Amino acid sequence: MGTKKVSQKDFEKWVEKLIGLQKVFGVQSKDDKYEFGALLKAENLRLDYDITILPPKKYFLPSTEQLFSFGESGFNSSVDGEPFILFGVHPYDFVAIRQLDVLFSMKNNDVYYQTRRNAATIIVCDVENISENAFSGFLGFDHVEKGFDLLVTKTGSDYLVESGSDKGKKLLSLMENAVDAQAADISKRSEKWKKNRELLKKQLLKANVNELPAALGKAYDHKIWNEKAEKCFSCGSCNLVCPTCYCFDVQDDFGWDLKSGERTRSWDGCMIENFATVAGDHNFRKNKSDRYRHRYYRKGKYVPEKIGEIACVGCGRCISACVARIANPVEIFNAVAEA
């Protein structure tokens, strides 16, 4: 849909303009790390980040959100559909959002997710710095060529901005002093993609991704499940930081009048001990290894069989988040592929 080139200065001006136009959430520094948060000034935007602590999933599936309130007027559901801009989503995280788009509309549409998703304009940005545990390069999730509203790539001291939707085009039209990108600029971007594909291979994935569902199918009794899970604290951190985890719990609360109140849903994790426990204290995944295996089967087999794509995007967040040092999907995928 057209790619523009713009100087650093005009790019920043444009970001400032967007902030005046809509609510913008963008990547900013937080101590020595990075996170998505409300962007108040263009200069706070850090498109040179390596990885954010939490994935941008939280803007579509908040860690806790109200499903409805109840009271004398009955059940009332409302979800904020105010337009917003999500600035600086890395390609692998964008792939995760694309997967959630499919999962939350499959068979039954989830209006909360969908309303937020429709309200968003997503600005993807190519990776400038490589995080320590990244492996999206092995999965083909190191860059994206479609689906985004806008794609931003830094080339030297300029930015290339491509629009991929009408929403994106509209925002792009607000940019001043932008010129059409030339073939040489586009090939600079292609070079960057090629380089990033190789750089985003910090964890060495040897397994063939397409054969992973079949390999897992044969690895149910592999010794690795026990070996790893033995050290697991069932803390759920690997679930929490994962851009493709979307399980949730549902909770009711009364207000002070004990008549009105709300029902909310919150992130949940399949690694947590009582995730599958039913009344009478019967836990269908009682052993840590059962839960541990389930997580990797979801990433490598169950969800891929539904959506046709591996449900781990290679961000490496779980690897960094696990204090037991056992949550590396690459180790699992390599081991089952070898067996």
Ligand X SMILES: Cc1cc2nc3c(=O)[nH]c(=O)nc-3n(C[C@H](O)[C@H](O)[C@H](O)COP(=O)(O)OP(=O)(O)OC[C@H]3O[C@@H](n4cnc5c(N)ncnc54)[C@H](O)[C@@H]3O)c2cc1C
In the complex, the residues that contact other proteins under the rule CB under 8 A are: 67-68, 70, 74-79, 81, 103-104, 106-112, 114-115, 220, 246-254, 258, 261, 263, 265, 268, 270, 275-280, 282, 284-285, 290, 294, 297, 301-302, 305
Choosing among ligand X, other proteins, ligand SF4, none, which partner's interface includes residue 196 (Cβ < 5 to 8 Å by kind)? none
Helices and strands (H and E) in the chain: how many: 13, 14
Q: How far apart are CA 306 and CA 304, in angstroms?
A: 5
Enclosing H/E stretch for 67: strand 64-71
| Shortest Å distance, C-beta 202 to other proteins | 29
Span interacting with ligand SF4, options 104-112, 162-170, 189-197, 227-235, rule CB under 6 A: 227-235
- Closer residue to ligand SF4, CB minimum distance, 119 or 241: 241
CA triple 51-315-266, angle to 5 deg:
90
Give the number of residues in contact with ligand SF4, rule: CB under 6 A.
26
Site for ligand X in 162-191 (CB under 6 A): none
Q: How far apart are CA 132 and CA 69, in angstroms?
A: 43
The reply to whether 137 sits near ligand SF4 by the rule CB under 6 A is no
Choosing among ligand SF4, other proteins, ligand X, none, which partner's interface includes residue 271 (Cβ < 5 to 8 Å by kind)? ligand SF4
The reply to whether 299 sits near ligand SF4 by the rule CB under 6 A is yes
Q: How far apart are CA 149 and CA 172, in angstroms?
A: 10
The token duo for 19 is 């902030």
The reply to whether 313 sits near ligand SF4 by the rule CB under 6 A is yes
The token duo for 258 is 């004990």
Q: Is the dihedral of CA 85, 91, 93, 99 positive or negative?
A: positive
Closest CA to 331 of 275, 285, 292: 292
Choosing among ligand X, other proteins, ligand SF4, none, which partner's interface includes residue 83 (Cβ < 5 to 8 Å by kind)? none
Choosing among ligand SF4, ligand X, other proteins, none, which partner's interface includes residue 312 (Cβ < 5 to 8 Å by kind)? ligand SF4
| Shortest Å distance, C-beta 135 to ligand SF4 | 7
- Closer residue to other proteins, CB minimum distance, 177 or 287: 287
The reply to whether 64 sits near ligand X by the rule CB under 6 A is no
SS3 180: strand
Q: Give residues with Cβ within 8 angstroms of 129, minimum separation 6.
A: 48, 49, 50
For residue 175, count other CB atoms closer than 10 A to its CB. 18
The site string for ligand SF4 over 94-123 (x = CB under 6 A, - otherwise) reads ------------------------------
The reply to whether 212 sits near ligand SF4 by the rule CB under 6 A is no
Position among 212, 316, 334, 336 found at the interface with ligand SF4 (CB under 6 A): 316
SS3 38: strand
Site for ligand X in 263-322 (CB under 6 A): 274, 277-279, 281
Closest CA to 179 of 9, 6, 10: 6
Q: Cβ-count burial of 273 within 10 angstroms (0-12 exposed, 13-18 middle, 19+ buried)?
A: middle
Q: How far apart are CA 122 and CA 142, in angstroms?
A: 17
Identify whether the C-beta of residue 270 lies closer than 8 Å to the C-beta of residue 291. yes
Q: How far apart are CA 245 and CA 229, in angstroms?
A: 19
| Shortest Å distance, C-beta 247 to ligand X | 14
The reply to whether 237 sits near ligand SF4 by the rule CB under 6 A is yes
Choosing among ligand SF4, ligand X, other proteins, none, which partner's interface includes residue 313 (Cβ < 5 to 8 Å by kind)? ligand SF4
Give the binding site for ligand SF4 (CB under 6 A). 232-238, 241-244, 271, 299, 312-318, 321-322, 324, 326-327, 329
Give the binding site for ligand X (CB under 6 A). 274, 277-279, 281
